[in-house]
Each structure stands twice: as structure tokens, then as C-alpha cells.
Amino acid sequence: MMKTILIVLCLTMSPAAMYCQCDWDKSSGKDPFTGLVTRATVWENIVRSTSGSVSFKIVEFPQDTSIYLYVKVSLPQNVSSIRCFNDESLIMLKSGEIVKSLDFEDDEVDCGTILINSCELTPEMIEFLKQNPIEMFRIVFAEGQKDFTILDPDRKRQPEYYQMKADYFIRTLKCFE
């Protein structure tokens, strides 16, 4: 009986424990060319659908205490899905009725089926993200926009997996405290 209880506890606790730990990118550290020291999380897939996926990664540069959100958009491998980031591209994050926008750093045009860009997180934005789950977000491309929903507003009870994805910033920014 006790063995059964322990097995049940281990099975139910391990998924939660897996997402509570800080998962650091092993390649972050001191850049041998610039000497800059960085600390970064691994890429975490936040949404995946037939129209593509979006992953986030947070990187800290301790020498100037700046923290960046890296965004990777992977689109299906067909000609009609090529998108571009340009100087007007951004990411919009929605929590409840609050919408926050982050401008991408790189103003150069970048096109393809896999796009990566970054946004600097201000101290005010970090405080907001530490306290609010993100229910949905919008990526603005040069050609238009694409919305991604993490939590379904019509469901009262959200599956734990989606709730964990919505809490990405709450969990991950604790790693940098």
C-alpha cells in the first residue's frame, strides 16, 4: 500500500518539479571573442500548431544587468509560409485586459521559415511578467500578424500543460533573481 502511494506521488510530482527548475543553456557563459558573460535559459516551446510554433528564451548580460527575451518563430516548410521581420515587427503579450508590446531589437529585414529576434525587457516589464500569466500573444510580421492563444478564454478549467506555458515568464524570471 505504501509503495503504491509513493509511486502515485512520484508520478504526480515529477511533472511539476520538472518545470520548477531552471533549465540553463549549457553554451551560455563567457564569449571567447568579446569576453561578455551571459546566462541564458534553453529554448522553450510555448505554442505549437499547424501554422507554426513559437519558442522563448531569456538571456541575461550581467555586466550591464540587461535581460532580453529571444523569440523564435518556426513556420511550416512551404513557400506560402515565408515571413519577414522588419523595423515595425514586434510581439504583443496579453494578460487579462492588459496588452504590453515589445519592440524587436534588430531593425534589419530577416525573412524565412525560422525567424529569431530579441526584445530588451525593462525593469517595469520584468515586474509585470513576474506577476501575470500570458494568455495569448501576437507576432507582428512585415506581411501582417499572427495570434497565438495559450489559454482558451472559453474554458473555466485550463489543462495544467497550458497553464504552465502561460506562466512561462513567472517561472523563468525567478531563475534570474
* Domain CATH for 36: 2.60.40
In a domain, 14, yes or no: no
Q: What domain count does the chain have?
A: 1
In a domain, 3, yes or no: no
Task: Choose the most confident range, by mean pLDDT, from 15-19, 35-39, 55-59.
Answer: 55-59
- At residue 14, the pLDDT reads 37
Collect contacts of 25-33 with beta carbons under 8 A, ≥24 apart: 25/57, 28/59
- At residue 79, the pLDDT reads 59
Whether residue 42 is predicted with pLDDT greater than 50 in this model: the reply is yes
**Residue 89 belongs to domain spanning:** 22-176
Q: Please state the pTM of the whole predicted model.
A: 0.81
- Res. 52 pLDDT band, cuts 50 70 90: confident
Positive or negative, the CA dihedral 103, 104, 109, 111 is negative
φ, ψ (nearest 5 deg) of residue 152: -75, 115
Of 79, 86, 69, the C-alpha closest to 140 is 86
- At residue 154, the pLDDT reads 74
In a domain, 130, yes or no: yes
**Least confident interval from 98-102, 139-143, 152-156, 164-168:** 152-156
In a domain, 2, yes or no: no
Whether residue 96 is predicted with pLDDT greater than 50 in this model: the reply is yes
Q: In sequence order, what are the beta bridge partners of 59?
A: 40, 68
In a domain, 143, yes or no: yes
> How confident is the prediction for the chain on average, in pLDDT?
84
Q: How does pLDDT run across 11-22, given as a tens digit for each residue?
A: 344 344 344 468
Q: What is the DSSP letter of 132?
A: -
Whether residue 58 is predicted with pLDDT greater than 70 in this model: the reply is yes
